[in-house]
Every structure is written in structure tokens, then in C-alpha cells.
Amino acid sequence: MFEEDHSQPLLEVRGLTKGFAGVQALKGVDLQVVPGEVHCVMGQNGAGKSTLIKTLSGVHQPDSGEILWEGKQITLAGPTAALDLGIATMYQELDVVDGLSVAENIFLGHEKASGGVLQVKKANALTRALLERLGHGSLSPSTEVGSLSAANKQIVSLARALSRDTKLIIMDEPSAILDSGEVSNLFRVVRELTAQGIAVVYISHRLEEIRQIGDRISVIKDGRSTASGLSVTDTPREQLIRLMTGRDVENVFPPRQPLAADAPVVLEVEDLELDGHFETVNFTVRAGEILGFAGLVGSKRSEILETIYGARKASAGTVRVNGKPLRAGSVNSAVNAGIGLSPEERKSQGLILDEPIFKNVTLSTFERFARGGYLNERAERDAARGQITALELRPADPDRPARTLSGGNQQKILLARWLVHGTPVLLLDEPTRGVDVGARAEIYTLIRKLATDGTAIIVVSSEIEEVLGLADKVLVIDDGKVLTQTNASDIDEHGVLDLVMKGSAA
């Protein structure tokens, strides 16, 4: 077993600062990581965590402050310099290359070659060994990465990090796309790595995870360190929340409002099927009602949402909004009828990253701002600015490119889009993925307010507690089959998992 030597830090950060175009992302961050530990970094969205990660990975250069590696001050001229030292980074937004094989991704940039000729057999053998080490020996080195699930793509990313002489792995929200079994496997791997002396910087907003895997915690708020190197076991949850937010936050769900007896059915899904993905699905959602889809990663919940939205063409069945059937496989038909979707993969499916916030917010309502064939950008900005203020989006600049915002604030852009649109039906796929504890409470309150105002809502989340806490009714789904439909108050997390386990064994 590796024994930590706290007198010899592997990585030390002192007073790090970094600014972009008038926005000061880091205002003084301190961090000390020792070999063989899991050092957790927490902070709200927009606190500066992503900037810190990219600075330690050589993507950004700090404006001031010091970075010390094994006691010596260093300058990371670029990502290659960080990798050469032994610093590997796994980003929240997966950076694997679709179109290349598993082995080609793992050794991308340091290919196995001799005399200018690629050694495919050697690369495949090394890949198999890495995947076995990670508990995924069934993955083939020759598989094209684009065909893999998000969870398996993450395994490829982790294998790539281990393919070098790595001393420190930075993991940015690594559990966001994993189900409970995959998270357990991730924690097993992390413990094996730290037992070998490898240090892990673990970025997460999930307090329960940090309790399980972390040794020490550092907290960032508004670009500054509010705590460095706290003991995980000795720091109360309430103290961490205060350090992150500057206030006490109750991570509770807003109370359900009684549904009006005469609330009309807004969304009706009848005998909906998609060959190869899910079987017959039937349900209705009334005005002011929240329906939750509960299940594990890979249960085909997202595929059902995408079929309702018209992004996938149903094999059979009908979707109706206010009694009128939609054209199968037509997003325009769904949007025109009043259905809005906040997709699971917000960057690749929901946002135009290089466009400003206000353009992303008004994306589905351009016709409202058109006059004589021209867009009234002032009106667009005003509409977006109202939602930016209401959702406390940070930074509150409608002209800022969407790419530059944190993950949680990008999620708020998607919600703002449909608020401006005034949609009567809202489909939310993983609405709080990568969102910190403070912003989560805000989003929960917003979702409940939308329902209270009459919006029919479907929520998909990998966190069963979240589904049960938000929803009025719940569909439990496993492998494309609806196992049961019930009131959320009549089932708990244990009951959901019991149904899923029985369904998987059938």
C-alpha cells in the first residue's frame, strides 16, 4: 500500500489568477495535492473550476501566481508540457475522437510506431491491458469510438490518461454520465490508482460522492479559494455549502402543488414505438403536471424524449399536443405545437457555442423578432436579458459567446430559450447534470414554478432521488420497457431499483 508523504506535495498552486476580456475568472486560488490522495475541488458553476483545470493542463497561462511541481516552480507552455510532466486531464465534455478506434484514441499523439510504421498489434495489446485494468476488458481495441455509449467513451478517456507515465489525473465531473454500477467501478479504479501513488484531483458537485471517494477538499467561490485541504471526514456538509455559496442552502425540492381537477391533458403519447430502442409507451401529461422518467443509464429514456420531439422517427404510435397529432420525425411539427427540449448533451445538441447568449436564447423564436425580413436584435437582447436576470445567469452579458460559460450556466441558456418561447410542453433531459448544489436549488424552484404556471413537463434524470423529488407521476423504465407508472409519492428509490433489477433479470 502506498503511504502518502504530506511533507512533499506533488502539485502546489499559490495565488493563481487568470482573466479573459475583462472577466476575472481566477482571483487567487491555492491548492496543494500530495501523491496518493484524492483531492476534491468544489465550487458553484462559474466559480472558476474549469479555468483552474485548463490552467493546470497547460491550456491557459496564468496572469500571476505560482505552480510548483515536485517542489519546483514550473511554466506549462501547453497541454503537451503538462502531459510530459505526468499531468493528465479527463474533461467533463468528452474529448475522444469519433471515427477512430479505441486503440487509436488511447495512443493519439503518442502512437506506437517503429521506423515510421504503426505497430497496430502492440497498440491493441497495450489497449487490452489498460481496459482490463479498468474493468472493461470486453471493449475491443478495434471498435470505432463513435459507436460507444458516453460511459464507455469515458473509459477510453481514462485509459488514454493511464497510457502515459501519469502522476496526477484531473477528473472533471467524471460520474455525470455514469449509472450507479459504473460509478462503483470508477471508484474502484480511483482507489487502485491512489494505492499506486497516483494523485487524483476530483471535481464534483455531488457531496455524497465526495464523502465516498475524497481525502481532502478545496473550495473555490467567485474565483478565490475559500478553503484549501479540508478533511473530508471532519467537514460538515453545511459548512461546505456555505463555503461554496456564501449562504445556507437547503438542497430540498419545492413542495408539490395540488393539480387542478379540471387540468386538461396537454401531451398524449399513445402506443409509441421505436424499433431497436423501446417498446410500446403510453402516458398523458396534464397542464401543471411533472412526469418523471426513472431508470439507469442506457434504459432508453432519452430515446423516448427524442422521439416525442421528432428528432427520431417513431416506428409506430402517435404523439398529440392539445389533441392534435404531430407529424412523426418532424422537429418543426413538435416546436410549432409547443414542445421544447433541453437535451442531455447540451453542447453538441442544444447550443450554438460561438454565438452570443441572446442568439441562443431566441433561437426557437426568431419570427417573433422579425420585422420586414430583418431581425430586431435589440428586441432579442431585451428578451434574453429578462431571462438572464430571472435565472441569475452568470456572467449576465447577453453578448458573451455561449462557449465561454460554465456548464450550469449553459444549461440555464436552454431553459431561457423555452421560457422566451412560452412552450406549453417542456422535455428536460438531465437538467442538472454538472450543476452545483446552489444552482440546483434554483433550477428545482424554476421547474416547479413552470409547472405551477401550467406547463406540462417531463423530467429525465439519472439521479432517482431527483426524479422522485420533482415529479408528480413516475414511469420506471428499463431497456426500453415501461415497468410501471405510479404516483411519485407511492414509490421510493429502493422501489425503483428493485423494479429495474427484476426487469433486467427477466
CATH number at residue 146: 3.40.50.300
> Before 395, cis peptide (omega within 30)?
yes
- Angstrom distance (rounded) from CA 388 to CA 368: 19
CA 136 from chain center: how many Å? 22
Q: What is the pTM of this model?
A: 0.61
Question: Which among 120, 121, 193, 220 has a CA at the least distance from the CA of 436?
Answer: 220
CA 505 from chain center: how many Å? 29
Verify that 360 and 503 share a domain, yes or no.
Answer: no
Residue after which a domain boundary falls, among 205, 221, 245 = 245
Asked whether residue 310 carries a pLDDT value surpassing 90, the answer given is yes
Question: Which among 328, 343, 333 has a CA at the least distance from the CA of 272?
Answer: 328
In a domain, 255, yes or no: yes
pLDDT band at 37 (very low <50, low <70, confident <90, very high): very high
In a domain, 347, yes or no: no
Question: Which among 349, 264, 342 has a CA at the least distance from the CA of 305?
Answer: 342
- Condensed to tens digits (0 to 9), the pLDDT of residues 496-506 reads 878 876 764 44
Verify that 413 and 370 share a domain, yes or no.
Answer: yes
Q: Are strands 224-231 and 216-221 parallel, antiparallel or unpaired?
A: antiparallel
Verify that 241 and 287 share a domain, yes or no.
Answer: no
More confident residue, 391 or 165: 165
Q: What is the mean pLDDT of the chain?
A: 88
Segments in 289-406 forming alpha helices (H) = 301-309, 331-337, 357-361, 377-390
Which cell numbers in the block locate residue 48? 472558476
Exposed/middle/buried for 422, CB within 10 Å: 0-12, 13-18, 19+? exposed
- Condensed to tens digits (0 to 9), the pLDDT of residues 105-120 reads 999 988 888 887 888 9
Residue 128 lies in domain: 11-245
pLDDT band at 32 (very low <50, low <70, confident <90, very high): very high
Cα separations in angstroms, 195 against 3, 200, 408, 446: 8, 11, 33, 43
Residue 45 is predicted with a pLDDT of 67
Verify that 163 and 181 share a domain, yes or no.
Answer: yes
Residue 498 is predicted with a pLDDT of 81
More confident residue, 346 or 389: 389
- Condensed to tens digits (0 to 9), the pLDDT of residues 422-462 reads 789 999 998 887 676 667 777 888 889 889 989 999 999 88
- Condensed to tens digits (0 to 9), the pLDDT of residues 185-232 reads 889 889 989 998 999 999 987 777 888 999 999 999 889 999 999 999
Q: How many domains does the chain have?
A: 3
pLDDT (mean) for 16-45: 90
Percent of the chain clearing pLDDT 70 (strictly above): 94
Verify that 429 and 413 share a domain, yes or no.
Answer: no
Verify that 49 and 140 share a domain, yes or no.
Answer: yes
Verify that 212 and 313 share a domain, yes or no.
Answer: no
pLDDT (mean) for 86-98: 87
Verify that 483 and 431 share a domain, yes or no.
Answer: yes
In a domain, 497, yes or no: yes
Report the run of H or E that residue 110 belongs to, with start and end.
none
In a domain, 296, yes or no: yes
pLDDT (mean) for 225-240: 90
